[in-house]
Amino acid sequence: MRDDKPTTQSGKPVATPHQLQAQAEAAAAMLSALANPHRLMILCLLLEAELPVGVLTERVGLSQSAMSQHLARMRHQGIVSARRDGQSIHYSVADPAVREVIATLYRIYC
C-alpha cells in the first residue's frame, strides 16, 4: 500500500498548522534579530572568517559598547558563537540557517 501523504516541492512532508506556526515564529525571531544594518554588517564579515571583537568594532565602525550589545543579542539567540583565545574573544556564525540567509543577502546586495 502506498503512503500518499502530501509533500512539498522539496519532498518534505507538508507541515501541520501547529508545525507551520512554530516554523513561522522561529523564522520571524531570526529575521527580527537580523533586521539591523550593523548586525547584517557584522554577519557579512563573519561569513568570511571568525573574527575578534576588536576587528569587528573597527570594520563596522561601532563603539566597543555598541558592538558588545549587538554580539550579545546575537549570541543569546544562537546566531553567533564566541571562543576565547587569551584575552581576545573571537566570533563566528553559529547557525547554518543564518549563514545561508546572510550568504543569499550578500549575493543580492553586496
What digits encode the pLDDT tens for the residues 19-34? 999 999 999 999 999 9
Supply the pLDDT for residue 12: 82
In the chain, the domains with their CATH numbers are: 37-109 (1.10.10.10)
- Global pTM? 0.83
Supply the pLDDT for residue 7: 81
Given a cut of 80, whether residue 1 has pLDDT beyond it is no
Q: Tell me, letter by letter, the H, E, C secondary structure of the chain.
A: CCCCCCECCCCCECCCHHHHHHHHHHHHHHHHHHCCHHHHHHHHHHHHCCEEHHHHHHHHCCCHHHHHHHHHHHHHCCCEEEEEECCEEEEEECCHHHHHHHHHHHHHHC
Supply the pLDDT for residue 3: 58
Half-sphere exposure of 1 (CA within 13 A, CB side): 2
What digits encode the pLDDT tens for the residues 60-102? 999 999 999 999 999 999 999 999 999 999 999 999 999 999 9
